[in-house]
A and B are shown apart, each in its own frame.
Chain A
């Protein structure tokens, strides 16, 4: 014979288990509904992070060894470093396109960071309007995949330098890193150990038939 108090305790525990199960099931259903509501509320278009502006890309052309200006409208961030990365990303996207005049695989993701460093004057002080050194950190995948050749590498370096200068006039010098490290050459030819003048678009004399 089961004692009365044990029967009551069993019934109470059974009821508590049922109630707890019902509460848990209810909470699970609500969480699921919240998740579905969240998905429904997700934007179907990417939010505009920056207003569209005109950017000048200095695009290289292998056929005549030239670097020519091309004006495009792009969403450009206000932060100068983010802006520099955005324009270089667009430039490298053009080079990664199938109909590129200077085919280089990689695209926008090849520019890991761009750092802008003020160049100190003779007194050792750097004003906000002082010339800047841009340090472009490329990915090793970009350097490894870059076509090897004197002309191909020279054009890539010059077009990056000229594009930075065209969109950020304070940038007068450019240095390159690959995965944050100094590297001797881009793909066997273009010297990456030196500081390049940003406004240089030297190979623009064109081809001779």
Chain B
């Protein structure tokens, strides 16, 4: 009997201790939840897609003894370095001379949820024109954003943003003293991209035959264009071109 009386108070204290522990645990969980909710949502990443046109057997235009395929790849690598140095994430569609078809390029761009997609081209200008950069957006008509868009016309929901991106690129290139032309073109590679997309054709001056034989080494112009494009993308980011905010 005395032993029974001894055990009763210890059982009550154990229950109370358990309740206390549960209460503390509940408070801790609540505090964690509140802490997590009070934190600001992570800022959407600013991602740029660099799409070096052509590849594989598709050499593109000839620039002296260099093909457009090699020129655009080199430009893509250069731009990637410059952008990453400024803290901008870059996704490239092509890292080698291999061919990547238009659908695969668009797929890579769409998965990246990019703030800007740049389809890179290069061609010599005619002898009468000076070096220039030609900016093109898609010819697709602008449409309202829909939950599901046809693959081949996905860009139509982004035309307005693409036009704005082309404007920012145009301003930066013009500011750098480069002649710029604006236009629209029918290009499957950008028509399927669900992001602000601009096709950029770098057009260095056609050189003399002797210079051609030595290679299309217009490094000064190319570097000038690359710097201007990077400046434009930094400006685009500052204007709120984050991936999450850039949805049409």
Contacts and interface: CB of A to CB of B under 8 A. Distances in A.
A101 B62 CA distance: 20
B128 A62 contact: yes
B185 A188 contact: no
Q: Is the interface of A mostly helix, strand, loop or mixed?
A: loop
A151 B179 contact: no
Given A202-B183, A203-B181, A203-B182, A148 B132 contact: no
Contacts of A4: none
Interface stretch (B22-30, B118-126, B217-225): B118-126
Contacts of A102: 126
Interface residues of B, number: 33
A194 interface: yes
A200 to B, nearest CB: 7
Interface string A55-67: 0000000111100
A151 B60 contact: no
A189 interface: yes
A147 B187 contact: no
Interface string A185-207: 00111110010100010111111
A205 B187 CA distance: 19
Interface in B116-139: 121, 123-126, 128-129, 132, 134, 136, 139
B185 A207 contact: no
Interface string A66-83: 000000000000000000
B123 to A, nearest CB: 3
A152 B134 CA distance: 10
Interface in B85-123: 121, 123
Given A149-B61, A150-B136, A207-B132, A189 B179 contact: no
Contact of A150 (B126, B128, B180, B185): B185
A103 interface: yes
Contact of A190 (B124, B126, B170, B186): B186
Contacts of B121: 149-150, 189
B129 A63 contact: yes
B145 interface: no
B54 interface: yes
Contacts of B203: 149, 151
A154 interface: yes
Nearest to A184: B188
B152 to A, nearest CB: 9
A37 interface: no
Contacts of A204: 183
Nearest to B199: A150
Interface in B5-62: 54, 58-62
A152 B129 CA distance: 13
A190 B186 CA distance: 7
Interface string A85-107: 00000000000000001110000
Interface of B: 54, 58-62, 68, 121, 123-126, 128-129, 132, 134, 136, 139, 170, 174, 179-188, 199, 201, 203
Interface of A: 62-65, 101-103, 147-152, 154, 157, 187-191, 194, 196, 200, 202-209
